Structure 1
């Protein structure tokens, strides 16, 4: 009996030790900008669709959209705009094709991406609707400085400052917040803060319900590891390593305080953020809300799979409620 107890104790100690190692490793991969393992291996494990590009009709559509976005990004009415805050230097592209218009959109990119890659084409479509645009690089992304990835939770505070930057340019600005992936989470997490009346509505594409739930999904799907106890330990470590709790970083909790019109979008082929999270987010929001589900679309690819339907739906929603 004593040997059985001793073996059980050793097993428990081993499980805890391995779980601490796994939790620490996962946090370093997920929440720090500079991570060689993520660059070489982790990215492909977490979001395999980014590496399965070929010459399908969707790949060709994406190439055309990227070309249109690149050309729009370089127009004479676009310029770099910087914001210094909390010791960091944050970058954005300020695009004002319609100086007389009061309509603005702030477009927020996804995880480990940057504004131009994710949002240049989207910005060009908003410009066709007479919008001016601000596209930030979130801290620890793109041209912005920083090493800790905020997963939307820290970024919500930066987004409040970007909103003020737009208002400083146009006091009567009527602003839509548009986000994709982590950018969508940023917008949803910002929705629970005290926002100026200039914010008229939200469009969120494939955002997660919380960082805790998203990391749990990644542990299971990409790493083939159980969420418990690794994620429980990771949550405790995160508070010391990056200054925020994975559970506190919740789109759902913030959306319960949201009363703005919100359009929720997701593709059913998303392997990075489970599309079922749309329903959790939508259920939580208290404003006018509608959804757009694009069948078989991978992560942040709904406007590639059904571009006309996507933007017709977005602008019909915006014009109707915002």
Structure 2
């Protein structure tokens, strides 16, 4: 009997030790910019669709969209715009093709990406609807400085600053917040803050319900590891390591305070953010809400799979409610 108890104790100690190690490893690779494991290994594990490119109709569409976005990004009416906060320099691209227009959109990119990559084409489509555009690089991404990745929670405070930057340029601006992936989570998390009346609506594409839930999904799908106890330990460590807990970084909790019209978009082929999270987010919000589901579209690819249906839906929603 004593040997059985001893073996169980040893096993428990091993499980705890391995779980603590796994939790530390996961936080370090997920939430620190200077850890390059994600670029070398993790990205392919977590979002394999980005590495299965060929010459399908969708790949050709994506190439055309990238070209259009690149050309738009370099237009004479676009310029770099910087702000400083907490000792960091935060970058954005300010694109103002319609100086007389009061319509603005702030387009927010995804995890470990940057504004031009994810949002240049989206910005060009909004310009066709007479919008001026601000596209930030979130801190610890792109040209912005910083090392801690905010997963939308810290970024919601930076988005409040970008909103004020637009209002300095145009005090009467009518602003749409558009986000993809972590950018969608940023927008949803910002929606629970005290926002100026200038914010008229939200468009969120493939955003997660909370950082805790998203990391749990990644542990199971990419790492083949159980969320418990690793994620429980990681949540306890995160506050000290990055300044926020994984559970408090919740789109659902913030959307519960949101009354703005919100369009939720997701592709059913998303392997990075489970598309079922769309329903959790929709259920949470209090404002007018609609959804757009694109069958078989991978992560942040709905506007590649069905571009005209996608943008027709976006602008019909915006024109109706915002």
TM over 0.5, yes or no? yes
- For 1:208 and 1:66, the matched residues in 2 are separated by 25
Query: Residue 285 of structure 1 corresponds to which residue in structure 2?
Result: 285
Query: Residue 26 of structure 2 corresponds to which residue in structure 1?
Result: 26
Query: Residue 142 of structure 1 corresponds to which residue in structure 2?
Result: 142
Query: Residue 45 of structure 2 corresponds to which residue in structure 1?
Result: 45
- For 1:292 and 1:87, the matched residues in 2 are separated by 39
* Equivalence map 1:95-110=2 (5 Å): 95-110=95-110
Farther off after superposition, 4-13 or 32-41: 32-41
Query: Residue 83 of structure 2 corresponds to which residue in structure 1?
Result: 83
- For 2:206 and 2:38, the matched residues in 1 are separated by 21
Query: Residue 93 of structure 1 corresponds to which residue in structure 2?
Result: 93
Query: Residue 196 of structure 2 corresponds to which residue in structure 1?
Result: 196
- For 2:102 and 2:18, the matched residues in 1 are separated by 55
SS at match of 1:200: strand
Once the 2 structures are TM-superposed, how far is the Cα of residue 124 of structure 1 from its aligned partner?
0.2
- For 1:11 and 1:39, the matched residues in 2 are separated by 34
Once the 2 structures are TM-superposed, how far is the Cα of residue 36 of structure 1 from its aligned partner?
2.4
SS at match of 2:233: helix
Q: TM-score, normalised by structure 2?
A: 1.00
- For 1:149 and 1:76, the matched residues in 2 are separated by 32
Q: TM-score, normalised by structure 1?
A: 1.00
- For 1:35 and 1:47, the matched residues in 2 are separated by 18
Gaps in structure 1 of 5+ consecutive residues: none
SS at match of 2:82: strand
Query: Residue 186 of structure 2 corresponds to which residue in structure 1?
Result: 186
Once the 2 structures are TM-superposed, how far is the Cα of residue 38 of structure 1 from its aligned partner?
1.5
- For 2:17 and 2:243, the matched residues in 1 are separated by 23
Query: Residue 175 of structure 1 corresponds to which residue in structure 2?
Result: 175
- For 1:104 and 1:154, the matched residues in 2 are separated by 23
- 1:311 matched to 2:305? The reply is no
Query: Residue 36 of structure 2 corresponds to which residue in structure 1?
Result: 36
Gaps in structure 2 of 5+ consecutive residues: none
Residue deviations 1:264-306 (CA, integer Å, cap 9, x gap): 0000000000000000000000000000000000000000000
Q: How many residues align?
A: 322
Note the aligned Cα RMSD (angstroms): 0.3
Residue deviations 1:48-89 (CA, integer Å, cap 9, x gap): 111111100000000000000000000000000001001100
Once the 2 structures are TM-superposed, how far is the Cα of residue 99 of structure 1 from its aligned partner?
0.1
- For 1:317 and 1:280, the matched residues in 2 are separated by 20
Query: Residue 128 of structure 1 corresponds to which residue in structure 2?
Result: 128
Residue deviations 1:85-119 (CA, integer Å, cap 9, x gap): 01100000000000000000000000000000000
SS at match of 1:247: coil
After the TM superposition, which parts of structure 1 deviate over 2 Å for at least 4 consecutive aligned residues? none
